[in-house]
Amino acid sequence: MNRNDLRRVDLNLLIVFETLMHERSVTRAAEKLFLGQPAISAALSRLRGLFDDPLFVRTGRSMEPSARAVEIFALLSPALDSISTAVSRAAEFDPATSTAVFRIGLSDDVEFALLPMLLKRLRAESPGIVLVVRRANYILMPSLLASGEISIGVSYTADLPANAKRKVLRRSMPKLLRADTVPGPLSLDDFCARPHALVSFAGDLSGFIDEELEKLGRKRHVVLAVPQFNGLSTLLSGTDIVATVPDYTAEALTAAGGVRAEDPPLPVRSFELHMAWRGSQDNDPGERWLRSRIQMFFGDPESL
């Protein structure tokens, strides 16, 4: 196929194909693209004719791609990223007048402790934009970025899509949070004897603190696991329960009163807070502006 032949290819069909590869469902693809299911089915029929291949075969409730579809997707996805980048570079972004919608993913600690400062700045600079925040963590981040449900994510991250970019925003140290009135810092014995609260998206009852305690031949007893940091101070109030949280979260919780923070009584490692974004939007003016503001209000230059 030469460049003249490309005139008969509807770019929208390729977007439908990419979405079907991500969603493996006509229904979910229709929801994602804000189209009706008949429109997606019609587009799939045209795609099958264009590529002379079934492309997807239904297996139960899912649609599995053919070998040809996998091959096409490997070539098509970076090409669409390049097209998106080319169009983005041609666009201009004026924060003062923009009405753009930005979709970002934040871990709970970031949303609770750092988002309020960022939001105040965004409202001052760009009152017309819309910010959609999705809950994200290292498990959810890859699929949210790959599917385009978010353009930027802030969390600790592990594996990411091949075309995603990432940078370290800050290196954070854990802090011990307590609401009791017992004077002085906790000793390691006191720390292990106290009941502990754990913030866990997945409902886990252990974390990195337990790994560090195990190295010392010690254990702790977790009596409470909650999915979010908001309300943690209230839960600790009037009890002897302690919790270990990121330093920036501890700062936000202690500022509200009712709890105090101190260093844990055992050696602990720092951990990285990352910002990750879709490579296809690396040069988008609006996305670059938003990433710069996230760097400004979520980052900690002194720790980098």
Residue with tokens 């070539």: 75
Contact residues for 183 (Cβ-Cβ < 8 A; gap 6+): none
Residues 214 and 84 in one domain: no
Domain extent for 17? 5-89
- Considering its fold, how many domains does the chain have in total? 3
Q: Does 234 map to a domain?
A: yes
Residues 63 and 208 in one domain: no
Partnered with residue 262 across adjacent β-strands are 176
Q: Which residue pairs from 286-293 have beta carbons closer than 8 angstroms and sit at least 24 positions apart in sequence?
A: 286/91, 286/93, 286/98, 286/100, 286/102, 287/88, 287/102, 287/151, 287/152, 289/93, 289/95, 290/102, 290/104, 290/122, 290/152, 291/152, 293/118, 293/121, 293/122, 293/125
pLDDT values of the chain reduced to their tens digit, one per residue, 304 residues = 555 566 667 788 888 898 898 888 888 888 888 788 888 888 899 899 888 999 999 887 788 999 999 998 888 877 777 776 666 555 678 999 999 999 999 999 999 999 999 999 999 999 999 999 999 988 899 989 988 889 999 999 988 887 889 999 999 999 999 999 999 999 999 999 999 999 988 788 888 899 999 999 999 999 999 989 988 999 999 999 999 999 999 999 999 889 999 999 999 989 899 999 998 888 889 999 999 999 998 987 554 3
Residues 154 and 277 in one domain: yes
Domain CATH for 256: 3.40.190.10
Residue ending a domain, choose from 30, 55, 89? 89
Q: Does 303 map to a domain?
A: no
Q: Does 44 map to a domain?
A: yes
Q: Does 277 map to a domain?
A: yes
Residue ending a domain, choose from 89, 112, 132? 89
Residue ending a domain, choose from 62, 89, 116? 89
Residues 160 and 278 in one domain: yes
Residues 113 and 157 in one domain: yes
Domain CATH for 41: 1.10.10.10
Q: Does 47 map to a domain?
A: yes
Residues 158 and 294 in one domain: yes
Residues 33 and 71 in one domain: yes
Residues 25 and 58 in one domain: yes
Q: Does 241 map to a domain?
A: yes
pLDDT of 300: 73
Residues 47 and 133 in one domain: no
Residues 113 and 225 in one domain: no
Residues 154 and 276 in one domain: yes
Residues 142 and 226 in one domain: no
